Structure 1
Amino acid sequence: MQYDPIKRSLGRIFNITPSLRILFYRLLNLLLLRSWYIRRELKKWAAPRKHKANILDAGSGFGQYSWYLSRLGSNYNILGVDVKEEQVKDCNNFIKKLGKAEQVQFRKADLTRFVQPSRFDLVLSVDVMEHIEEDKKVFRNFFESLVPNGMLLISTPSDKGGSEVHEHSEGVTGFIDEHVRDGYSIEDISQKLRDAGFERIDVRYTYGEPGHIAWKWSMKYPIIMLNKSKIFFIFLPVYYLLVWPFCWILNYFDVKTAHSTGTGLLIKAYKPENK
């Protein structure tokens, strides 16, 4: 199932003006449960930090989290890196139109090679690691790029069906076929982060039963229909008016609940002060 073409199509529609793009970001924040979790953690991180901070948005994509971080602190310097040149160019154009080019910049970079020693107070990686085969290199690069006591925040699918591999027939790698692995187990990603040098590692399940149901109705089913026919774009507003209240309630309960299992993982890890 191709997800990126759908994202690009929607991105073009909302990229006509900066206001429409911001509306697109806000819609993503409403629809994507991972954004609920990430924004909650970013607010916690930012609350005591009124001073200058350097932030890496590792795999910045459409740039919605870089934009969000710029609103949390005017003295935050944010660098978004992405392997796709067209995404980087597009994000830089958008930020320039907002007049935030001094605060937020985007650059093309391969995370398996990108290292800026002891520069960043926070490294954010949202739905990126499931796309990278050489994840150990990336974790080590994140570690080296953080200042002592700096935090790494990751959202990624778990191995409990995060890519829906188990719901497909033989030969199909998952709902999102750009993934290189069927998510992480808590033990696997914790060990890889320890091997990279991280301490105070906190790994929690997201997308429990409420969130997984909401994801199917708010993301999976619309994407399936859009892959079959772009005509469905016309009916999207009506579809979401009908299903969104139900999905909002499910997302709310998912964020407020501690899950014993789930199809997503939220990870926080810190670089020791003496490293």
Structure 2
Amino acid sequence: MSKIAYDPVKDRFAGIIRHSRWLRRIFYFVLDLFFLRSWHIRRILREMGKKMDQKGEWKLLDAGCGFGQYDRFILSQFKNVKVHSIDVKEDYLEDNRHYFRDDVTKDRIQFYEADLLEFSSEEKFDFVICIDVLEHIEDDVTVMRNLQSGLKNGGHFLMHSPSHYSEEDADEDDSFVGEHARTGYSKEEITAKLESAGLSSVKPHYTYGFWGHAAWVLSVKWPMIWFTNIKLLAVLPLLIYYPVVMPVCLLMNFADLYTRNEKGTGIYALARKS
């Protein structure tokens, strides 16, 4: 079985969708459907963003925006939000500026190249999200401190990452954490690090528990292995495979969303700046 590296696969998809708005919309739909972390993050954003939107204009920082998946959701859900979206990859940012050009023109969203280890901002934000980024950075506490400094008092910080249990998915031949600075976080570790960065009221929760992890193996891990090994030749088998397994996977994702997982291969934490 070949070793998996996420970044080359993501870059390959970025090249495919780069010049097509409808392909990008389909790509966003697939990300939201297949990746359970998106289910959890969108649920929290929907609940908290609704309250802030009712009070008038508010500002959100997307730290490590990638393809702009969550930016699209946020802009579609909330009319009073202004988004600052940053990433270290300029090619991703250019693609996002092109796709979100109408919202950029209306000053609803702006994209900036930034290294989170050196990030500072005169702007103060009501909400900061950092989704599947911290696991790639060795000095993660510095990033947490930098992002905390950009929060208004009372503002909230939301992160998601693999948990320390994700090590169970890595072995000598097949690693899904090879590009990471750490395997993942436990509840205790992420709570301690966020508190040391100046945040409080930390609420961690494991994602990808029993049901969510099983859905991920069936709907993401195995298909990615096939796609990596045989590339476009995997398309036809997957067209037969997905209609059979996806209804079951969606039910398992839904179960994970409403389960208090004692363990899981993912983790999110919601914290507040006092």
- TM class, shorter-length: over 0.9
Provide TM-score, normalisation by structure 1: 0.92
* 1:63 maps to 2:68: yes
For 1:124 and 1:47, how far apart are their aligned partners in 2?
A: 16
Unmatched segments (≥5 aa) in structure 1: none
How far does residue 146 in structure 1 lie from its aligned partner after superposition?
0.4
* 1:12 maps to 2:12: no
* 1:46 maps to 2:49: yes
Q: Which amino acid aligns with 1:189?
A: I
Contact 1:127 1:157 in 2 (8 A): yes
Shift in CA distance, 183/125, structure 1 to aligned 2, threshold 3 Å: same
Report how many aligned residue pairs link the two structures: 266
* 1:213 maps to 2:214: yes
How far does residue 117 in structure 1 lie from its aligned partner after superposition?
4.5
For 2:132 and 2:76, how far apart are their aligned partners in 1?
A: 21
Provide TM-score, normalisation by structure 2: 0.92
How far does residue 118 in structure 1 lie from its aligned partner after superposition?
5.7
Q: Which amino acid aligns with 1:65?
A: Y
For 1:106 and 1:125, how far apart are their aligned partners in 2?
A: 15
Q: 1:80 aligns with which of 81, 85, 107?
A: 85
Report the aligned-residue RMSD: 1.6
Q: Which amino acid aligns with 2:178?
A: D
For 2:213 and 2:255, how far apart are their aligned partners in 1?
A: 11
Contact 2:209 2:264 in 1 (8 A): yes
Q: Which amino acid aligns with 1:149?
A: G
Q: Specify the SS of the correspondent of 1:252.
A: helix
Greater Cα offset, 36-45 or 7-16: 7-16
For 1:202 and 1:173, how far apart are their aligned partners in 2?
A: 32
Q: Which amino acid aligns with 1:28?
A: L
Q: Specify the SS of the correspondent of 1:184.
A: coil
How far does residue 175 in structure 1 lie from its aligned partner after superposition?
1.6
Contact 1:163 1:174 in 2 (8 A): no
How far does residue 215 in structure 1 lie from its aligned partner after superposition?
0.5
Q: Which amino acid aligns with 1:33?
A: L
* 1:143 maps to 2:148: yes
Describe the superposition over 1:52-79 as per-residue Cα deviations: whole angstroms up to 9, x where unpaired: 1111111100001011111121221111
For 2:28 and 2:19, how far apart are their aligned partners in 1?
A: 14
Unmatched segments (≥5 aa) in structure 2: none
Q: Matched residues, percent identical?
A: 37
Q: Which amino acid aligns with 1:220?
A: K
Q: Which amino acid aligns with 1:80?
A: S
Q: 2:38 aligns with which of 35, 40, 47?
A: 35
1:267 corresponds to which residue?
269
Q: Which amino acid aligns with 1:196?
A: A
Q: Which amino acid aligns with 2:63?
A: A
For 2:135 and 2:166, how far apart are their aligned partners in 1?
A: 13
Contact 2:212 2:252 in 1 (8 A): yes
Contact 2:177 2:183 in 1 (8 A): no
Shift in CA distance, 144/11, structure 1 to aligned 2, threshold 3 Å: same
1:131 corresponds to which residue?
136
